[in-house]
Amino acid sequence: MKDFEFLHATFDEKKADTGDKPLPIIYLVEDDQILGRAVQRYLKKSLGLEVVFFDNPNNCIEYLNKEKQANPEMDPFCLVSDISFNEGGTDGLLLIDLLKERGLEFVSIVMTGFASIETAIMATKKGVFHYLTKPFELEVLSDLVVKALNLKLGFPLERLNQARKAQENVQSSSQRASGPYSTKVTLESPQEEDMFCGMIGRSPQMKKVFERISKVANSDSTVLINGPSGTGKELVAKAIHRLSARTSNDLVSVNCGAIPGELLESELFGHVKGAFTGAISDRKGRFETANKGTIFLDEIGDMPLLLQVKLLRVLQNREIERVGGTGTTPIDVRIITATHRDLEKAVAENNFREDLFYRLNVIPVQLPALAERREDIPLLISYFLSRFVSADGRNSIDFADDVLEVLLTYDWPGNVRELENLIERLVILRGGNTVKISDLPAKFLHHRPDKKQVYQNLINLPDEGLNLKKTLSEIEDSLILQALEQTSGNKNQASKLLSMNRTTLIEKMKKKGLMENQFQ
């Protein structure tokens, strides 16, 4: 959904001149700690203004109340707030109302990952300067803050630009001393309280999952685990079984999406001799094997409709019938299911039985995507390193600061499994070295933090003008040489950094005479 642009009010000439007042403060309210800190760092760097970060609205209100009491003539400020918060209660729009009731003067920008026309209209009525839909470019937010401070609060652009330039000078000095990434992300080994039955998490989302598991483990109720692929649904099933009274008996797992539909019935319920070609003897199914224990049906959303009817009968009667058999066998088994699909949507589309869905969804457990709990990424990286690095540490790896920034801001479509695979790959291929940006797969390079800042003000146009063709050629030469330097002359990796074919890169190098360079 496109962002909703609001009409910006022109500067009210009746406002007092702000030329002698202190620079405005930005108050940022966002419950995603990783996103919040990233936005805070970016706004500080790009604007040169003080940015105070809160992870929930109540802390913001409490802080501003104290500021107001200490200074009744509190200066105007900019509020940047999310609309929805995981803990519920006060939302971003209510926060705006509460701050207005306290007589505070401010301009507001709101963010949301769930845009709707209704929310946009509500935001407009509350005088919100801009309604920003996630995900968004940080430079867009930075520009909006400048416009809001200028148009709504009357801060002169000259003063804001001076603050920005002062910050750029400080940043340039810092970069010359310590490289382009001055913010360090540190890896931290998970503590005992961060680990739960083989799972790792410090984020509020994962703590809720751990709490739900602890509550439901001792019951025999059916559990439905939902979450994207790679989030650890099988680990949840194992944790529930391990903490249950059935832990001394078997946990039997079946991937319903990996077994052809015509074989799945026999796999689950067993068959008798002669039931079909190849049935040379009686065979127990997974339900009988799991008797007195737990059966875990993974990817239940892929189960054929005909088999869903038979599973419903098992849930109702607690007995199974082997394929080709005439009698029934009673079973005592706890059923845990999991899927990455939206079963409610599947029910609406007649791809999943509604009665079975309600039988399975007695106790739901929702696993968050890794991108929704970024604060756990450093813990997970540290944990996977401890698994894949040898005991003598000869293949241990370090990460350049910009690499860690990339790993924290990447979307992780494959979730924890993708992160685990990446760390294993890096340990094998880069063991004993520092991992650089060029060592990451090409898809990660598009997520490099502050990527666009690299190109801003790359070159200033002199008053007398310049030869554009020659200048662009020189810039191209420089970038090719930088790519080769970063990859130690590896043309394949350099071509990935430059998003071009290897043969195209070689042809350009030949044409420009760069093949004679030290990188061969």
The candidate with the shortest Cα–Cα distance to 76, out of 15, 132, 123, is: 15
Band the pLDDT of 451: cuts 50, 70, 90.
low
Q: Report pLDDT for 185.
A: 66
Query: Which DSSP string corresponds to 418-450?
Result: HHHHHHHHHHHHHTTSEE-GGGS-HHHHTT-TT
Q: Could you report the per-residue pLDDT of 100-144, keeping only the tens digit for each?
A: 999 999 999 998 877 677 777 888 888 899 988 887 888 889 999
Choose between 23 and 340: higher pLDDT.
340
> pLDDT band at 458, cuts 50/70/90?
low
Tell me: pLDDT of 415 over 80. Answer: yes
Q: Is the pLDDT of residue 14 over 50?
A: no
Contact criterion met (CB below 8 Å) for 271 and 283:
yes
Q: Over the stretch 462-486, which tens digit does the pLDDT of each residue have? A: 767 777 887 788 788 878 887 887 7
| pLDDT beyond 60 at 449 | no
More confident of the two residues 145 and 475: 145
Q: Which residues fall within 8 angstroms of residue 92, CB to CB, at 6 or more apart? A: 29, 57, 81, 82, 83, 84, 85, 110, 111, 112
CA distance 104 to 39: 23
How confident is the model over 496-506, as pLDDT tens digits? 888 888 888 88
Which pLDDT value is given to residue 301? 94
* Cis amide prior to 135 (ω within 30 degrees): yes
> Which residue did the predictor score with more confidence, 59 or 451?
59
Look up residue 485 and give its amino acid. Answer: E
pLDDT at position 516:
56
Domains (range + CATH), the chain: 26-178 (3.40.50.2300), 188-196+370-441 (1.10.8.60), 204-367 (3.40.50.300), 459-520 (1.10.10.60)
- Tokens representing residue 510 in the block: 């030949």
Cβ-based burial of 97 (10 A; exposed 0-12, middle 13-18, buried ≥19): exposed
Structure confidence at residue 413 (pLDDT): 92
pLDDT at 92: 87
Beta 319-320 vs 329-330: how paired, if at all? antiparallel
Provide the pLDDT confidence category of residue 280 given band limits of 50, 70 and 90: confident
Stretch 174-199: mean pLDDT = 68
Q: Per-residue pLDDT tens for 70-107? A: 888 889 999 999 988 876 567 888 999 999 999 999 99
SS3 251: strand
The whole-number pLDDT of residue 459 equals 60
Retrieve residue 361's tokens. Answer: 């969804």
Q: What is the mean pLDDT of residues 438-467?
A: 64
Using alpha carbons only, give the angle 98, 101, 107 rounded to the nearest 5 degrees: 75
Cα 349–354–359 angle (5° rounding)? 145
Long-range own/partner contacts, residues 175-182 (CB < 8 A, 24 or more apart):
179/401, 179/402, 180/402, 181/401, 181/402, 181/405, 181/449
Q: What is the pLDDT of residue 297?
A: 96
Percent of the chain with pLDDT over 90: 44
Output the average pLDDT for the chain.
84
Q: Which residue bears the tokens 């699909």?
A: 341
In this prediction, residue 358 carries a pLDDT of 94
Among the residue ranges 104-108, 202-206, 511-515, the one predicted with the least confidence is 511-515
Among residues 191, 267, 199, the alpha carbon closest in space to that of 233 is found at 199
* pTM of the shown model: 0.56
- Given this model, what pLDDT does residue 36 score? 86
Residue-level pLDDT at 169 = 62
Structure tokens at 253: 């797992």
pLDDT of residue 8: 36
Backbone angles phi, psi at 186, to 5 degrees: -105, 140
Nearest Cα neighbor of 99 from 131, 76, 117 is: 76
Report pLDDT digits (tens) over 206-262.
999 999 999 999 999 999 999 999 999 999 999 999 999 999 999 999 999 889 887
In this prediction, residue 87 carries a pLDDT of: 63
Read off the pLDDT of residues 339-361 as tens digits, 9 standing for 90 and up. Answer: 999 999 999 999 999 999 999 99
